[in-house]
Chains A and B, each alone.
Chain A
Amino acid sequence: MIEVKDLVYSYIAENSKPEEILKNINISIQKGEFVAVLGHNGSGKSTFAKHLNAILLPMGGKVYIDGIDTSRQEHLWDVRSRVGMVFQNPDNQIVASIVEEDVAFAPENLSVPPEEIRRRVDDALETVGMSEYKNHSPHMLSGGQKQRVAIAGIIAMKPDIIVMDEPTAMLDPIGRREVMKTIEDLNSIYGITIVLITHNMDEAVKAKRVVVIDSGKVIIDDTPRNVFKNVELLRQIGLDVPQATLLAYELRQKGFNIRDDVLTVDECTEEIYKLCR
């Protein structure tokens, strides 16, 4: 469980006044949730993500992971092993030159006994569907496969929560699909709490809750359906809405009687079909 209270963070560059990146963020995320955090570049969403496993420490307010205050140095590794983190560029997260060695990196750091590491590595690779590549060299894999290896490396740590910081931003469409499928499975099958930082609306739709951050503040925090209703507001802060939602919105503007909470292409087709009848 994540509890963020009045989180404030400023970036202090040399010879200039501090720039407030996060202003009073309050969020609480329950176990097993799948939350997407939306925001355009520079909204502070990545900075927020880095607070969840104590890579950054709050300058004001508190972040609690399962009741543990992240700013307490003695619990640092406890927090980091509970909250895994996956980054944008898979190349810069993979440490070893063999897939299974890399997946073993985190448990090795946590002094897990060798037999247990073996078990965890095999399970983690199975979970992301990369078992057959366990003896491969990472640079021979595709972007999506590399990112899945990076995710396996985090799963092997057995975290309760995984924070993904734009994990699909550098991937091709196929890679995106593979990684999104893996993320959804981690949440629905394995019950891992997912915090997905993204600016891709179609990915945000897959979450069960969407938090929109703009200039360091939480603007909306609701289900995807309710969030994407606010087409004007989202556009104002420089975000898109899913294409299906946008089409429905434009049709409504033109005076058609169509639902305002359309999310997927299927729903949109259904609605338009109803109109035509």
Chain B
Amino acid sequence: MLKDITLGQYFPLDSVIHKIDPRFKIMFTLCYIVLIFFASSPAGYLAVGIFSFLVIKLSKVGFKVVLKSLKPLLFILCFTAVINLFFTGGDTILWQWKFLKITTDGIINAANMALRLVFLVVGSSILTYTTSPILLTDGIERLLSPFAKLGLPSHELAMMMTIALRFIPTLLEETEKIIMAQKARGADFESGNLIRRAKALIPVLVPLFISSFRRADELATAMECRCYRGGKGRTSLRQLRVTSLDWIALGVMLIFALVIIFINLGF
């Protein structure tokens, strides 16, 4: 049940996209997200679509997997599309029933929002699919390090992310164990209305919280035993090196950005 959650899943494959420096990849993803909002014409979306298609192809992750990532968002996707479809004002009314009306603007808006959401999810999924959590945190830490002077705890944030990622499977396993233990004593998680079910979760959450605090305490001691004293002066096993591949990728990204901007300006 809980094992189906594929939070930030990573596919360890050998592809060009996997090899791009995580710092570059994070920046590219941010850039891509901004560009999605620039591309508001059919031609723009076509360009974004082709680009996304090529990146997925290069990443070797497979389209099925990427499409799967959209599944949990199906509801939100439909919801936004429907809301936009019916509640956008406009002059050319195509169909009307009481306060609900469909206008051409509405259709365009709905399509816009839906496509943007799809591309948004696809883009960020590609990042997590092709970058190991460790590299991702490394990348984030390095990218945020210039802000450390302004008081931003970049190392601490990265460390928290590392530990959180490390403990997700452990805590999921523990949750399942507690659920089974409570079931064995007659707890009922499957029947009743929403409130009853939420209440049934309390006997799961309380032991889970207690054990998490205990784990945190033990982990802190173990980390101190291994001479952890914050990010100052720490070295790293993994050295991030910028290669020619990264510059080529940067070039491709720049061309893509220019294409989107040109389309947007109406060339």
Enumerate chain A interface residues (CB-CB to B < 8 A). Answer: 53, 55, 77, 80-81, 84-85, 87, 89, 91-98, 100-101, 104-114, 117-118, 121, 135, 137-139, 150, 153-154, 157
Contacts and interface: CB of A to CB of B under 8 A. Distances in A.
Which of B221, B237, B238 has the most chain A CB atoms inside 10 A of its CB?
A: B237
The 9 residue pairs across chains A and B that have the minimum distance between CB atoms:
A104-B237, A92-B218, A106-B226, A93-B222, A139-B169, A85-B225, A109-B227, A97-B166, A117-B237
Contacts of B219: 92-93, 95
A119 to B, nearest CB: 11
Interface string B130-168: 001110000000000000000000000000001101100
Contact of B225 (A80, A96, A118): A80
B192 interface: no
Given A96-B134, A97-B162, A139-B169, A114 B222 contact: no
Nearest to A53: B225
Given A108-B234, A121-B237, A95 B225 contact: no
A105 B226 contact: yes
Contacts of A80: 224-227
B65 interface: no
Contact of B236 (A53, A77, A108, A150): A108
Interface string B216-244: 00110111111111000111111100000
Contact of B235 (A101, A112, A153, A154): A112
Contacts of A112: 235
Nearest to A50: B221
A95 B163 contact: yes
B188 interface: no
Contacts of A100: 237
Given A92-B219, A96-B162, A114-B237, A105 B224 contact: no
Contacts of A93: 218-219, 222
Interface SS, B side = helix
B196 interface: no
A135 B133 CA distance: 13
Contacts of B166: 94-97, 138
Nearest to A139: B169
Contacts of B57: none
Contact of A154 (B226, B228, B234): B226
Nearest to A79: B227
Contact of A111 (B222, B234, B239): B234
B235 A117 contact: yes
B236 A97 contact: no
A95 B226 CA distance: 10
Contacts of B183: none
A39 B169 CA distance: 34
Contacts of A94: 166
B6 interface: no
A188 B236 CA distance: 31
B234 A109 contact: yes
A98 B215 contact: no
Contact of B223 (A89, A95, A104, A139): A95
B229 to A, nearest CB: 7
A112 B226 CA distance: 13
Given A95-B223, A97-B166, A105 B228 contact: yes
B218 A153 contact: no
B134 A84 contact: no
B222 A92 contact: yes
Given A89-B218, A93-B219, A135-B12, 20 more contacts: A80-B226, A92-B218, A92-B222, A95-B163, A95-B166, A95-B219, A95-B223, A96-B166, A97-B133, A97-B165, A97-B166, A98-B132, A104-B237, A107-B237, A111-B233, A111-B234, A114-B239, A138-B166, A139-B169, A157-B227
Contacts of A92: 215, 218-219, 222
Contacts of A89: 218
A177 to B, nearest CB: 24
A20 B234 CA distance: 39
Contacts of B227: 77, 80-81, 106, 109-110, 157
A104 B170 CA distance: 21
Contacts of B239: 114
Contacts of B225: 53, 55, 80, 84-85, 154
A91 B171 CA distance: 10
B176 interface: no
B125 to A, nearest CB: 19
